[in-house]
Amino acid sequence: MTRLNRPAIFVVESNPGPLELIQQELHKRYAADYNIHYAALPFEALATLSTLREAGAPVATILASCWLEGMGGETFLQLARHLHPQARRVLLTTRGDKSVAQTIIHASAIGTIDAYSSKPLGAADEDFHIVVSQMLHDWVAENRPPYIVARIVGDQWSRRSHELRDLCKRNSLTFEFYDTDSAEGRSLLEESGCPAGPLPVVLLADGQALTDPSNIELAEALDRASIADITGPLPEGVVDVVIVGAGPAGLSAAVYGASEGLSTLVVERVAIGGQAGMSSRIRNYMGFPMGISGGELASRAYWQAWLFGTDFTFGREVAELEVQGDERVLRLADGGEVRARAVILAMGVSYRRLGIQALDELIGAGVFYGSASAEAVAMKGQKVFVLGAGNSAGQAALHLARFAEDVTVLVRADSLLPSMSEYLIREIESTPNVRVRTNTEVVGGGGSYRLEQLVLERNGTRETVPAHALFVLIGATPHTEWLPETVCRTEEGYIVTGRELLEDETPPTEWPLERRPYLLETSIPGVFAAGDVRHGSLKRVASAVGEGSTAITFVHRYLAGD
Ligand SMILES: Cc1cc2nc3c(=O)[nH]c(=O)nc-3n(C[C@H](O)[C@H](O)[C@H](O)COP(=O)(O)OP(=O)(O)OC[C@H]3O[C@@H](n4cnc5c(N)ncnc54)[C@H](O)[C@@H]3O)c2cc1C
Q: Which of 72, 74, 87, 80 is nearest to 50 (CA)?
A: 80
Q: Which of 525, 526, 522, 528 is nearest to 550 (CA)?
A: 528
Confidence of residue 120 (pLDDT cuts 50, 70, 90): very high
Share of the chain above pLDDT 70, in %: 95
Taking the C-alpha atoms of residue 438 and residue 409, their distance in angstroms, rounded to an integer, is: 8
Please determine, for residue 504, whether its predicted confidence score (pLDDT) is greater than 90. no
State the pLDDT at residue 494.
Answer: 94
Distance 287 CA to ligand 1 centre (A): 20
* Terminal Cα distance for the chain, rounded: 70
Q: Which of 154, 276, 309 is nearest to 545 (CA)?
A: 276
Distance 174 CA to ligand 1 centre (A): 22
State the pLDDT at residue 370.
Answer: 66
Residues constituting the chain:
562
State the pLDDT at residue 403.
Answer: 87
Distance 35 CA to ligand 1 centre (A): 39
Residue nearest to atom 38 of ligand 1 (CA): 347
Third-level CATH fold of 8-143? Rossmann fold (3.40.50)
pLDDT in tens, 220-232: 888 777 666 666 6
Ligand 1 binding pocket mutation candidate from 343, 347, 527 (most atoms within 8 A of CB): 347
Among 40-54, 116-130, 150-164, the minimum mean pLDDT is found in 150-164
> Which amino acid is present at 349?
V
pLDDT in tens, 443-474: 999 887 778 999 999 989 999 999 999 999 88
Cβ–ligand 1 distance for 479 under 6 Å, the answer yes
Confidence of residue 493 (pLDDT cuts 50, 70, 90): very high
Cβ–ligand 1 distance for 244 under 6 Å, the answer yes
Confidence of residue 372 (pLDDT cuts 50, 70, 90): low
Among 51-60, 209-218, 362-371, the minimum mean pLDDT is found in 362-371
pLDDT in tens, 180-213: 889 998 898 888 888 887 999 999 988 888 999 9
Q: Which atom belonging to ligand 1 lies closest to the Cα atom of 538?
A: 19
Residue nearest to atom 22 of ligand 1 (CA): 532
Tell me the chain's radius of gyration from C-alpha atoms. 25
H/E element, 422 = helix 422-429
Average pLDDT estimate for 247-272: 95
State the pLDDT at residue 509.
Answer: 64
Q: Which atom belonging to ligand 1 lies closest to the Cα atom of 482?
A: 41
Cβ 132 vs Cβ 126: under 8 Å: no
pLDDT in tens, 77-88: 989 988 998 899
Q: Which atom belonging to ligand 1 lies closest to the Cα atom of 284?
A: 9
Q: Which atom belonging to ligand 1 lies closest to the Cα atom of 278?
A: 1
- Fold match flag (150-224 vs 238-348+523-561): no
pLDDT in tens, 61-106: 999 999 999 899 999 998 998 899 889 999 999 988 888 888 888 7
Q: Tell me the longest C-alpha to C-alpha distance in the chain.
A: 77
Ligand 1 binding pocket mutation candidate from 230, 252, 275 (most atoms within 8 A of CB): 275
* HEC secondary structure over 309-364: CCEEEECCCEEEEEEECCEEEEEECCCCEEEEEEEEECCCEEECCCCCHHHHCCEC
Strands 349-351 and 434-437: unpaired
Strand order of the β-sheet with 35-39 is: 35-39, 8-12, 59-65, 88-93, 115-118
State the pLDDT at residue 4.
Answer: 59
Confidence of residue 362 (pLDDT cuts 50, 70, 90): confident
Please determine, for residue 9, whether its predicted confidence score (pLDDT) is greater than 60. yes
Cβ–ligand 1 distance for 556 under 6 Å, the answer no
pLDDT in tens, 277-336: 877 778 778 998 888 888 889 989 999 999 999 999 888 899 999 999 999 999 999 889
Cβ 178 vs Cβ 279: under 8 Å: no
Taking the C-alpha atoms of residue 325 and residue 221, their distance in angstroms, rounded to an integer, is: 37
State the pLDDT at residue 440.
Answer: 95
Third-level CATH fold of 238-348+523-561? FAD/NAD(P)-binding domain (3.50.50)
Please determine, for residue 111, whether its predicted confidence score (pLDDT) is greater than 80. no
- Give the rounded distance of the alpha carbon of 532 from its chain centre: 16
Name the residue ranges covered by the structural domains of the chain.
8-143, 150-224, 238-348+523-561, 357-474
The dotted CATH code for 150-224 is 3.40.30.10
pLDDT in tens, 404-415: 999 999 999 998
State the pLDDT at residue 124.
Answer: 86
Distance 475 CA to ligand 1 centre (A): 12
Cβ–ligand 1 distance for 315 under 6 Å, the answer no
Rounded to 5°, the CA angle 7-35-175 comes to 20
Cβ–ligand 1 distance for 483 under 6 Å, the answer no
State the pLDDT at residue 541.
Answer: 92
Q: Which of 2, 6, 12 is nearest to 80 (CA)?
A: 12
Average pLDDT estimate for 21-44: 95
C-alpha separations of 402 from 153, 280, 290, 384, 471 in Å: 25, 11, 18, 12, 15
State the pLDDT at residue 342.
Answer: 98
Cβ–ligand 1 distance for 388 under 6 Å, the answer no
Taking the C-alpha atoms of residue 357 and residue 444, their distance in angstroms, rounded to an integer, is: 9
Confidence of residue 476 (pLDDT cuts 50, 70, 90): confident
State the pLDDT at residue 87.
Answer: 94
Cβ–ligand 1 distance for 359 under 6 Å, the answer no
State the pLDDT at residue 33.
Answer: 93
3-class secondary structure, 238: strand
Cβ–ligand 1 distance for 166 under 6 Å, the answer no
Into which CATH architecture does domain 357-474 fall?
3-Layer(bba) Sandwich (3.50)
Confidence of residue 167 (pLDDT cuts 50, 70, 90): confident
